[in-house]
Amino acid sequence: MDLFKSWLVETPIAHRGFHDENCPENSIAAFKNAIEHGYAIELDVQMLSDGTVVVFHDESLSRMTGNDGYLKFLTKQDLPMLKLKGSNQTIPTLEEALSAIGGLTPVIIEIKNNLKTRDLEQKVIDILANYKGEVAIACFNPMVLAFFKQHAPHILRGQLSGFLKHIKMKFLTRWGMKRMVLAKKLSAADFIMYEAKTLPNRFVKKFKKLPLIAWTVKSQEEYLRVVKYCDNVVFEGFEPKI
């Protein structure tokens, strides 16, 4: 497959769905809104204490639900009680999200896992086994991509990276992540997703044979600047005028 002619580069990708004040991020409403506007979707997945895979970005519940506590301690039965940004939307399971999307637009699933790989990754693989739409996974952790390479090589893998100056991490971790030193041999990434505000840079040039997707573009001005250096964008807060 020539990924430079695939869905990965055909249309802009809505970050956590096409969300606004009426459609909270990573909600069923935001995913349906993306479909209605013809955009692909990027979403985040994590695992609850009972093993349920849900679509949610933060570790903490406070920003999106106004509740104290952490997502990882919840169970599936807690979800209906947590409303996203005061709306009628709740935290969807991955299965619910994929059912709502129904293959009508491509999906990139970001695996939120910086710890030991296996349980979350295998659950995502099992869920995707019954999904008929276009889909890929992406992660900052190359070990996650390596797991998918070994256990589900048919699923496209994207290496997420960037300078990530806003995130506290060890020097060697940042050094390796910025340069994507494990993206070729360990994870065998099919495409690269790199921090938009740091493009262009010398670290992505060695991956010129792979599609490059810029994240997260937040204005038309930024889009016009970065689109010259990448094959597609993940966007938020505006509609890219191509």
* Mean pLDDT within 182-187: 78
Domain coordinates in residue numbering, the chain? 3-234
Q: Would you say 26 and 56 are in contact if contact means Cβ atoms under 8 Å apart?
A: yes
Give the model's pLDDT for residue 61: 98
Q: According to the model, what pLDDT value does residue 1 have?
A: 81
Residue type for 182, please? L
Q: Where would I find the beta strands (DSSP E) of the chain? A: 13-15, 40-47, 53-55, 107-111, 135-139, 156-161, 191-195, 212-217, 232-235
Q: Considering the entire predicted model, what is its pTM?
A: 0.96
One-letter amino acid for residue 181 of the chain: V
Q: What are phi and psi of 129, to 5 degrees?
A: -60, -25
Give the tens place of pLDDT for each residue, 86-122: 999 999 999 999 999 999 999 999 999 877 789 999 9
Q: Which CATH number fits domain 3-234: 3.30.70.360, 1.20.1050.40, 3.40.630.30, 3.20.20.190?
A: 3.20.20.190
The pLDDT tens digits of the residues spanning 8-53 come to: 999 999 999 999 999 999 999 999 999 999 999 999 999 999 999 9
> Rounded to whole angstroms, how far apart are CA atoms 114 and 117?
8
| CB under 8 A, 24+ apart: contacts of 1-6 | 3/156, 3/190, 3/191, 3/210, 3/211, 4/211, 4/231, 6/211
Residue 31 CA to residue 100 CA, distance in Å, equals 8
